Amino acid sequence: MPEEIVNTQAQNPKEDEPRIGVYVCNCGGNIGDVVKCEHVARTLERLPNVVVSRDNMFMCSDPGQKMIADDIKEKGVNRVVIGACSIFLHEQTFRRTLERAGLNPYLYYHIGLREQVSWVHHGTPKEATEKSIRMMAAGIAKARNMKPLEPVRLPAHRQALVIGGGVAGLRSALDLARRGLKVTLVEKSHYLGGHMAQWERVFPTNEEARPLLKRLIDQVLAEPNITIHTGAEVIGAKGYVGNYNVTIRQTPRGVRETFPNEQEAIDVCPIKRRKRFDFGLSTSKAIYRTYTGCVPESLVIDWETCTKCGECVKVAPEGMINLDEEAQEFTVDVGAVVLATGFQPYEPFYGEMGWKEFPEVITLPQLHRLLDDEGPTQGKFWWNGHPVKNVAIIHCVGSRQVEGVHRAQPDGNVNNYCSRVCCTASLSMASLIRQKAPDAKIYEVFEDIRAYGRGHEDYYTRASKNNVTFLRYFAEEIPEVRRADEKAEHPLLVKVRDHLTWGEEIEIPVDLVVLSVGMMPNPVQDLMEIFKVTPGSDRFLLEVHPKLRPVETAVNGVVLAGTAQGPMNIQESCAAASAAASKVSALIEQAKVELEPYVARVDPDKCQGSGECVKVCPQEEAIELKTFSENGNTFQRAVVTPANCNGCGVCVSACPNRAIDVQGWRLDEYEAMVSAIAADIPAWEGAA
């Protein structure tokens, strides 16, 4: 423990005079191996208003925090300046330390000496130490001007909106309801379950998927706190965290409930449509049920294909089918929103590895349905009426793409990310094929095998033992699928340069080619505009930080769940959904929310109502001009709605009268920091 450093110039200050405690962290050597932390602390002790200046190996540790708390209680420290690692790691840690010691938590300023100094100036310790002194001196100058702040406190609705009725949305809704919150769940399709309902089994447990899903849905349906709207979508929202007013449009089902002669109503319908549930491998009528055991269980009308001929109405009980129903709109008031909007499988371009050019080329999701006992072939591994003897599964179609090699998406970018789950899904399908067709020849044509999860590697081992043949290609050498000769036994040839055999060019004769397509986000541009959330470079919705704030968006009160934010398997989606529910619960369960106080504040004595701040403000409804009357005079003044303000400071630069400032970052604080950086700082006499 370094010896105590006390500034004798600050022994008897006035009652309201700043008494600043300065703390320099070695960060276990991350900072101290480059920056001479004791030198920094000793130099800063002589600055005005500094009561105590210390360095410590780990300031975030319990002893380090206790040191700060003791100084606040025993030495009257009323401002704290800390030089340590990133503020994003320990801002809350040190705020809580100040609170426990009885000091306003916002009377603390943090300097990132690790990221801004030691990590970028590793080879120049002398200059790094000097830079640290300057940065800390600027923080001390800001601390002299800091004022106590209080968080923005708002009432909140103890109700959440979950958008998406797949496994992530269901899990999130259930967790929220079990915490005592009201939940409105909105699902765009007319049935719950999302993609999980389309799979027969889940990995790595190999359990049946639909019974697992049914169990989760039953738990959701049994929760009185959950209200479900299928066939519904969000079309508008206004407000802010704790107080969102959301407009929902619900498309009618057309069928009121189940009735005895449903099959007759289906049979008389003259319209056939490609069945989306089977990824187009089968057809259904315009009046349909997605699958046996689906929820809700009643039939539904596909309004896109229905011609309203009325044949189904004629055979159904009176009033059971209504083809003249119209969409209804309603609003709900919620405190927070969970976006569980899911994914869609990558759609290959025409001709990409034979897609839609040859009918024997299908996608991995279609193979899932093909091998499902409740699928189009009742689980038989047949195609075009014949058993499949040879099959090639080509990995990384629509994932890990290379610019200039693969065709770009409409936004001009290729899918350069890994979809993560495709390798294990492909390997699990190889094992299932071996069960269904023991004599089939199976080829896995892969770029890399990324069986990353617990138990996933077992699928690779099992496939190897089951005589699955592996061929490895490089991304820039895309496998080629072409038609074989008319007299050939197998209709297709897959040509690949195999780098497991030192680059030998191999042709595989096959009956079926399966493209292991990756994940892409569902198109939710409308929701992005409504809730002001942004996508990442992969087009999935973007979280604030993948480790520190993994399910939060930059918009307060809007969180992400499941594959809305990136490729995940079912287990990961459920974990992310529970994390989202936990975040929402912590935010609104007390019927109030607390927001950072770093928002714009108008000085009414200086404001002349020019409106320049309103013109430049990028946040909707954050600042507006309001009319006031006083002593018979009418005038306008700018008024800030703190809940909508993100403290960007654009309004500060636009105000001609300097009548507006951002709390915690006022102009006088900035000016003091700039002056401190340029000021002369007396050197420590003990410096070598």
Q: Which pLDDT score is estimated for 5?
A: 37
| Cα 679 versus chain centre, distance | 44
Mean pLDDT of 287-294: 93
Q: Which pLDDT score is estimated for 686?
A: 64
* Pairing between β-strand 382-383 and β-strand 159-163 as defined by DSSP bridges: unpaired
Q: Is residue 79 part of a domain?
A: yes
Q: Is residue 64 part of a domain?
A: yes
Mean pLDDT of 320-348: 96
Q: What percent of the chain has pLDDT over 70?
A: 97
What DSSP designation does 679 have?
Answer: S
Q: Is the pTM of this model over 0.85?
A: yes
Q: Is residue 186 part of a domain?
A: yes
Q: In this structure, are residues 81 and 53 in contact, taking their beta carbons and an 8 Å threshold? A: no
Mean pLDDT of 97-111: 95
Q: In this structure, are residues 447 and 500 in contact, taking their beta carbons and an 8 Å threshold? A: no
Convert the pLDDT of each residue in 349-370 to its tens digit: 999 999 999 999 999 999 999 9
Convert the pLDDT of each residue in 260-277 to its tens digit: 999 999 999 999 999 999
Tokens of 106: 């916002």
The pLDDT confidence band at residue 14, using thresholds 50, 70 and 90, is: low
- Evaluate the CA torsion angle 239, 244, 247, 248 in order and state its sign: positive
Q: Which pLDDT score is estimated for 11?
A: 42
Q: Does 234 share its domain with 374?
A: no
Q: Which pLDDT score is estimated for 42?
A: 94
Q: Does 47 share its domain with 67?
A: yes
Mean pLDDT of 299-308: 95
CATH number of the CATH domain containing 105: 3.40.50
Convert the pLDDT of each residue in 165-192 to its tens digit: 999 999 999 999 999 999 999 999 999 9
Domain interval for residue 626: 600-663
Convert the pLDDT of each residue in 68-85 to its tens digit: 999 999 999 999 999 999
Total tally of structural domains belonging to the chain: 5
Q: Does 642 share its domain with 546?
A: no
Q: Is residue 257 part of a domain?
A: no
Q: Is residue 322 part of a domain?
A: no
Residue 481 to residues 400, 432, 492, 581: CA-CA distances in angstroms? Answer: 19, 24, 7, 46
Given 570, 591, 612, the domain boundary residue is: 591
Q: Is residue 154 part of a domain?
A: no
Q: Does 285 share its domain with 379?
A: no
Q: Does 184 share its domain with 284?
A: no
Of 329-333, 479-483, 484-488, minimum mean pLDDT range: 484-488
Q: Does 440 share its domain with 555?
A: no
Q: Quick check: 10 pLDDT over 50?
A: no
Q: Does 389 share its domain with 528?
A: no
Q: Which pLDDT score is estimated for 602?
A: 94
Convert the pLDDT of each residue in 402-454 to its tens digit: 999 999 999 999 999 999 999 999 999 999 999 999 999 999 999 999 998 88
Q: How far apart are CA 554 and CA 544, in angstroms?
A: 6
* Pairing between β-strand 492-498 and β-strand 336-339 as defined by DSSP bridges: unpaired
Q: Does 371 share its domain with 470?
A: yes
User: In degrees rounded to 5, what are phi and psi of residue 675?
Assistant: -65, -40
Q: How far apart are CA 5 and CA 660, in angstroms?
A: 39
CATH number of the CATH domain containing 636: 3.30.70.20
Q: How far apart are CA 535 and CA 533, in angstroms?
A: 7
Q: Does 297 share its domain with 337?
A: no
CATH number of the CATH domain containing 348: 3.50.50.60
Q: Quick check: 39 pLDDT over 50?
A: yes
Q: How far apart are CA 638 and CA 623, in angstroms?
A: 7
Given 591, 612, 634, the domain boundary residue is: 591
Q: Which pLDDT score is estimated for 114?
A: 95
Q: Which pLDDT score is estimated for 12?
A: 44
Q: Quick check: 339 pLDDT over 50?
A: yes
Mean pLDDT of 580-599: 94
Q: Is residue 684 part of a domain?
A: no
Mean pLDDT of 220-227: 97
Q: Which pLDDT score is estimated for 8?
A: 38
Q: Which pLDDT score is estimated for 117?
A: 95
The pLDDT confidence band at residue 15, using thresholds 50, 70 and 90, is: low
Q: Quick check: 518 pLDDT over 60?
A: yes
Q: Is residue 632 part of a domain?
A: yes
Q: Which pLDDT score is estimated for 687?
A: 55
Mean pLDDT, the chain, rounded, equals 93
Q: What is the DSSP string of 191-206?
A: SS-GGGGG-SEETTTT
Q: Does 85 share its domain with 203?
A: no
Convert the pLDDT of each residue in 292-302 to its tens digit: 999 999 999 99
Q: Does 21 share its domain with 96?
A: yes
Given 534, 567, 591, the domain boundary residue is: 591
The pLDDT confidence band at residue 9, using thresholds 50, 70 and 90, is: very low
Q: Which pLDDT score is estimated for 302?
A: 96
CB within 8 A of 438, min separation 6: which ones? Answer: none
Q: Does 574 share its domain with 641?
A: no
